[in-house]
Homo-oligomer: A and B are copies of this chain.
Amino acid sequence: MIKNMKPLILITNDDGITSKGIAFLVNVMHKIGEVVVVAPDSPQSGMGHAITIHDPLKYHESDLFEKLNIKAYQCSGTPADCVKLAKNHILDRLPDLVVSGINHGSNSSVSILYSGTMSAALEATIEGLPAVGFSVCDYSHDAEFTHTESLITQVASKVIDQGLPKGVALNVNFPKVSEEPIKGIKYCRQAKGKWQEEFDERVDPSGRKYLWLTGKYVLSDEGEDTDEWAINNNYASVVPAKIDLTDHEYLKELLS
């Protein structure tokens, strides 16, 4: 990076370009670099690492962040599509950092696998770019984000300065705002748990059954070194997440 050039920061998310979380992230990142936004034109929660291959992609410029003099593009695709599109089609130089979020809702524990927010970050990692996904444990449309600003700045600045190992992105989750400020950052592992599904069965006006997928998260991990423990104890959790899914330990066993 040329010293007198501001770091280029690509921002995307999975709640869509008009969500409150991305607007907050744009304002925070604007203070530390040159920002370009490429984000889905509609909410994409739960999209995991989906990409668009059977339909064409569309995108156009948006004036949403014009007041800050920030270029923004809204895209018909998924969060992972947005990263591919930005890097390979829109940007004229490589970003120094890719940030995704702030997601309205937790992406800790096993939720990372369903998360559009983190799939955008992991897609950037595949592309060799340092990337961080940010989420706040508050699913509401009007979630509060101000309590996360200083820690977001701290994490993002550190990654811009020092980079990340190849093949690793950071999954950062913040507790919901409370009276107490967040105690700081905890580096931790992904907690074991799962979403316990319930299918809410209904009947449509023509008599056909349909289901709504609902569920609650069930933690099955008592570890104090996990992201769930950190969040529940008012820390921001930072999990280094790999794109190599190989279980190297079990592989050794299989080969022995």
**Footprint of B on A, CB under 8 Å?**
43, 45-54, 56-59, 77, 80-81, 84-85, 88-89, 110, 112-114, 119, 122, 126-128, 165, 167-168, 171, 187-190, 192, 194-195, 197-199, 202, 208-213, 238-248, 250-251, 254-255
Contact = CB atoms under 8 A, between A and B. Distances in A.
Given A112-B245, A167-B247, 10 more contacts: A46-B50, A48-B49, A50-B50, A58-B211, A128-B194, A168-B247, A189-B248, A238-B254, A240-B246, A240-B247
Given A48-B49, A88-B198, A250 B246 contact: no
B255 A246 contact: no
| Copies per assembly | 2
Contact of A187 (B58, B208, B241, B251): B251
A154 B47 CA distance: 34
A250 B211 contact: no
Contacts of A238: 254
B212 A57 contact: yes
A127 to B, nearest CB: 7
A49 B118 CA distance: 12
Contact of A46 (B53, B187, B209, B247): B53
Among A51, A122, A171, max chain B CB count under 10 A is at A51
A49 to B, nearest CB: 3
28 contacts: A45-B53, A46-B50, A46-B51, A47-B48, A48-B119, A49-B49, A49-B119, A50-B50, A50-B114, A53-B213, A56-B202, A57-B212, A58-B209, A58-B210, A81-B213, A84-B197, A85-B199, A126-B194, A126-B195, A239-B245, A239-B246, A239-B251, A240-B247, A240-B251, A240-B254, A241-B245, A242-B246, A242-B247
Contacts of A240: 246-247, 250-251, 254
A213 B84 contact: yes
A190 B250 CA distance: 13
Contacts of A126: 110, 113, 194-195
Contacts of A127: 194
A121 to B, nearest CB: 11
A187 B43 contact: no
Contact of A168 (B46, B119, B242, B250): B250
Contacts of A199: 57, 85, 88-89
A189 to B, nearest CB: 4
Given A51-B114, A57-B211, A254-B240, A189 B88 contact: no
